[in-house]
Structure 1
């Protein structure tokens, strides 16, 4: 039985050490400054995946009143075929570690995850909860890679979230889950997606349209455009196979 909270989305982002540590990976997809600011403050370690560095730099230099050097990542990593030369030079001038990894059998996201795992081994501490800024929008093949890779990561990592300005999602492994809902942050719409499996048996409470031992598959029923209920602080989900849970995110502006 797993309990899921999203303290990194709270406006104060005051996360205690008992709630875990968060690592941020910025991907090469658009995001707003309010979302970046809130997630950044909640994380103890931040990494840009290749072209994600351009996204960070361009957003900060185009946002009035923001200093690009107020948001310096701990690491920039990837095959570095996307990062612009002037952006790379800027961060190198700020003594940010830039690692070029030309392994053709891993994506920039996978390379950054590897660095987090190496950091955990060195620290000998608990796993970081990972937040991907991006990954669920833009090119379809990249979105499918996010869905696929997080499905695989569930075997070795407890919590990996993908977030955009529109939604947040993560993989629920087989079993029971309690998702604690902050309705001031999450919007109305949510979905339970049987991605990467043949089918699953779903039961839920706390949704507008609950399921009771209902089979879900791409060839049958898929619970998209379901709704969170404002009076319900918790959603309970029981699934016989791993699924993707996604929820709409309210504007943080």
Structure 2
């Protein structure tokens, strides 16, 4: 094993051809298996999270994959299987709609079969950069809130300059010690939509909770979540950057807000302008980093090549597939070896990561 700074590159690159996992589940519909993986149901529970949500496979089924189709094969190992579609967060849906329409006319296709889930946006108190990406996130979000001084950041880059792209703000939440009078006045008197409600100002004075936590509680509470619907996934803008203690606090919140091993309270992402960071729970994860059929077309990429997999909470062992320096059964911990500055291969559409303990996954973004 050769070490280059904090990046460790194996001298002999292993390949992952099979992972075995066992489970015990109640009857349910079959789901698509992982490419190149073989498994059966025997002993624990498997969730395939299509469109961010989980579905179990039938306890009597054996499944594998050949050319993307599910077939009956071997045995399974430990862990759950999670699907990730971070491209949905910053997708240009107008362009996608046109693409699907053209594809239908030319090929008789029904267009994209993946249905994205709605997500909520929290703007934290950090200066906003990479506004093309921020505006795409804003447009795609179903609800948008600012954590106290986050409203000032929105006002400074838009409303103050006559730009109304961020006027449609649902609420400003926190102890409000950072919210300026000018910003408060602006958001309570402006709206980019005639039918939109006025921005709510929600004062939560407790000093035992951060403004970020108060915003998450609001989004997961009855004001935003229907009783029969799961809590929304959440993207936090400005999650990393500025003071080191604040950045570490945001990473701490990723763990704090996602205690369920199956993301029962919704998933959470930190958007820092240059990267997207999210928590991979113990199990196997398939992370779509390119649209189907867009490998080796860098001009269409949303993500840049750099990837990190970090065992922030505790040591873990990881297996990867689709990276330049893939590893197999690789121990990782702070103070030992960690995987940073790895590269997504140009031909990779889905990165696969398996971890025995929770790890952070971070991937660089291209600017729009």
**TM-score, structure 2 length as denominator?**
0.64
Q: CA deviation at 1:126?
A: 2.4
Equivalent pair of 1:175/1:238 in contact (CA under 8 Å): yes
Q: CA deviation at 1:111?
A: 0.2
Q: CA deviation at 1:120?
A: 4.6
Please list the CA deviations of residues 170-199 of structure 1 after superposition, one character each: whole Å capped at 9, or x if unmatched: 0000000000112611001110011111x0
Match of 1:19 in 2: 116
Match of 1:232 in 2: 348
Following the alignment from structure 2 to structure 1, what is the Cα–Cα distance between the partners of residues 219 and 316?
31
Q: CA deviation at 1:71?
A: 2.7
Q: CA deviation at 1:109?
A: 0.3
Match of 2:244 in 1: 140
- Greater mean deviation of Cα atoms: 8-17 or 40-49: 8-17
Judging changes above 3 Å, is the alpha-carbon distance between structure 1 residues 204 and 30 closer, same or farther for their aligned structure 2 residues? Answer: same
Match of 2:282 among 167, 174, 179: 174
Q: Secondary structure at the match of 1:93?
A: coil
Q: What root-mean-square deviation, in Å, do the aligned CA atoms of Structure 1 and Structure 2 show? A: 2.0
Asked if 1:52 corresponds to 2:150, the answer is yes
Match of 2:82 in 1: 2
Following the alignment from structure 1 to structure 2, what is the Cα–Cα distance between the partners of residues 76 and 211?
44
Asked if 1:75 corresponds to 2:165, the answer is no
**TM-score, structure 1 length as denominator?**
0.92
Q: CA deviation at 1:122?
A: 4.4
Following the alignment from structure 1 to structure 2, what is the Cα–Cα distance between the partners of residues 8 and 30?
20
Asked if 1:212 corresponds to 2:335, the answer is no
Following the alignment from structure 1 to structure 2, what is the Cα–Cα distance between the partners of residues 145 and 204?
27
Gaps of 5+ in 1: none
Following the alignment from structure 1 to structure 2, what is the Cα–Cα distance between the partners of residues 146 and 10?
25
Q: CA deviation at 1:105?
A: 0.7
Q: Secondary structure at the match of 1:218?
A: coil
**Relative contact order (C-alpha < 8 Å, sep 6+): which is higher?**
1
Equivalent pair of 2:225/2:232 in contact (CA under 8 Å): no
Please list the CA deviations of residues 53-82 of structure 1 after superposition, one character each: whole Å capped at 9, or x if unmatched: 00001110465x7226x5321010011111
Q: Secondary structure at the match of 2:312?
A: coil
Which protein shows a greater Rg?
2
Q: Secondary structure at the match of 1:231?
A: coil
- Greater mean deviation of Cα atoms: 174-183 or 47-56: 174-183
Following the alignment from structure 1 to structure 2, what is the Cα–Cα distance between the partners of residues 172 and 39?
21
Equivalent pair of 1:21/1:127 in contact (CA under 8 Å): no
